[in-house]
Amino acid sequence: NAGVMQNPRHLVRRRGQEARLRCSPMKGHSHVYWYRQLPEEGLKFMVYLQKENIIDESGMPKERFSAEFPKEGPSILRIQQVVRGDSAAYFCASSPTGLGEKLFFGSGTQLSVL
């Protein structure tokens, strides 16, 4: 049973480009969380999704950021028109139940904006 798979591991974008981060949850997991971690800071909640539904997006910036978790395929975190301040590690976690003790993280995507 593969773990939570995130790709790419490292993503370099120039200012103004789009960044797409992918997360394939563990098999049987229908709950997905996205977190952002800036250098020297903790994990900041961004969005919580279940299949085809956004449950809580209270941590998402109002503009340029969107997330989806389609019926088939991975969850996608999309950042349009990236700026330098978007440079961070983006972690995805999945859970079969949405409960904290069953939360498993991917290895993260390190986004660098030049």
Summarize as ranges the residues that interact with another protein (CB under 8 A).
Answer: 31, 33, 35, 37, 41-45, 48, 55-56, 58, 89, 91, 98-101, 103, 105-108
Give the residues across from 67 on adjacent strands: 77
Which residue, 48 or 65, is less far from another protein as judged by CB? 48
Farthest CA pair distance, the chain: 38
Amino acid sitting at position 76: I
- How many CB atoms within 10 Å of residue 60? 18
CB of 10 to another protein, least distance (A): 13
Per-residue b/e over 79-110, b at no fewer than 16 CB within 10 Å? Answer: beebeeebbbbbbbbbbeebeeeebebbebbe
CB of 98 to another protein, least distance (A): 4
Which residue, 4 or 113, is less far from another protein as judged by CB? 4
Which residue, 17 or 54, is less far from another protein as judged by CB? 54
CB of 81 to another protein, least distance (A): 26
Among candidate residues 77, 75, 87, 78, the one with its CA nearest the CA of residue 5: 75
CB of 35 to another protein, least distance (A): 7
Which residue, 5 or 17, is less far from another protein as judged by CB? 5
